[in-house]
Amino acid sequence: MIPFEYVRARDAAGAVAAVAEHPRAAFLAGGTNLVDNMKLGIEAPERIVDVTGLSLDTVDVLPGGGLRIGAGVRNADLAAHPEVRRTYPLLSKALLSGASGQLRNLATTGGNLLQRTRCPYYRHAEMPCNKREPGTGCSALGGVSHDRAVLGASENCVATHPSDMATAMCALDAEAVVQGTDGERRVPVEGLHRLPGDEPHRDTVLEPADLITAVELPPAPEGALSDYYKARERASFAFALASVAVEAVFDGGTVASTRIAFGGVAHKPWRARRAEEALIGHAPTEEAVRAAAAAELAEARPLEGDEFKTRIAAGALTTVFGRLAGRAGEGREDR
């Protein structure tokens, strides 16, 4: 048993202060990642600040459109929320493709965004890992795993970010509302997570005492359709080998606008802006979509044995645009 101090926060400012004043403190919400890592012996906070009692569990329609999702909203509740299913169905689909029903009943919006990698070398306390212990090396570089990055990796880390929800929110241009020691600020989800570089132990741009209190989604573009596709080794309770989230507006058979994010291929959700630019103004034929995927994945550097990830990512994008174009051609009103 490793002892730790337990603090139950009364408000967001108090939670932030309780973490800020201790060098080895951590927030606790659903606990589906933190508690698991504590059991594995790869995280050992000396103070745990419980934020489950804060009023962060509502989903509210914003006055100008869009949604404000409390950081404490459970994944199962968010996936089932009528406004999410109606206006942002790719988010609901991404959430339902993650973990198991039992875990979705516990996992929170804020915790899901901040979950740590499932790289098997990170999760093995006896293996050298720069993410877990900076300067010890990256065992995954010469290891065997299908959970290695093909985009944006460095010689210090090839781990991938595991969140399906974060990938969907990246494609939706979501913003995280963050409470810190200097007050509240907003961080685009696209820029929330970091590439590993020389500091792979830093998953995000947040400071240790920063607390995500909500995520805000902008109003959906008029006529937008969206979808999420996840390729994985088994049909449930498995992380993505590669996934893609797409929101698109079609006009006369061409792509008028689109937002695309890949998951399972990098240290963060990967916003595919080159692919977006390649598709806007063009019909989403299989040839055009594969060319757009090739443009995005041109700088991919898969390790030996991971070359299949680029093919899966390209196929996932082709599949999603085929579905969306079919729905647009049928004149379906649901997104």
CATH of the domain at 312: 3.30.390.50
Contact 164, 319 (CB under 8 A): no
Domain with 268, as residue range(s), is 225-330
Q: Is residue 251 part of a domain?
A: yes
Q: Is residue 259 part of a domain?
A: yes
Q: Is residue 267 part of a domain?
A: yes
Pairwise CA distance, residues 230 & 92, whole Å = 13
Pairwise CA distance, residues 19 & 34, whole Å = 15
Q: Which long-range contacts (CB under 8 A, 24 or more apart) does 95-101 make?
A: 95/164, 95/165, 95/168, 97/164, 97/228, 97/230, 97/243, 98/163, 98/164, 98/165, 99/32, 99/75, 99/237, 100/236, 100/237, 101/76
**Consecutive sets of 10 residues in the chain, 335 residues long: mean pLDDT of each?**
93 98 97 96 96 97 96 98 98 96 96 97 96 97 91 98 98 98 98 98 97 98 97 91 98 97 98 98 98 98 95 98 94 56
Question: Which tokens hold the place of 293?
Answer: 């995927």
Contact 196, 154 (CB under 8 A): yes
Q: Is residue 66 part of a domain?
A: no
Residue 248 has what pLDDT? Answer: 98
Contact 163, 98 (CB under 8 A): yes
Residue 332 has what pLDDT? Answer: 54
Q: Is residue 277 part of a domain?
A: yes
Q: Is residue 236 part of a domain?
A: yes
Structurally, how many domains does the chain consist of? 1
Q: Is residue 315 part of a domain?
A: yes
* Tokens 């820029």 belong to residue: 191
Beta strands 254-263 and 242-251: pairing type? antiparallel
Q: Is residue 152 part of a domain?
A: no
Residue 1 has what pLDDT? Answer: 73
Nearest CA to 110 out of 66, 61, 176, 171 is that of 176
HSE-up (13 A, CA, CB side) for residue 303: 20
Q: Cα torsion for 149, 151, 153, 157, to the nearest 10°?
A: -10
Question: Which tokens hold the place of 264?
Answer: 């399972």
Question: Which tokens hold the place of 127?
Answer: 């293996």
Question: Which tokens hold the place of 319?
Answer: 């599949």
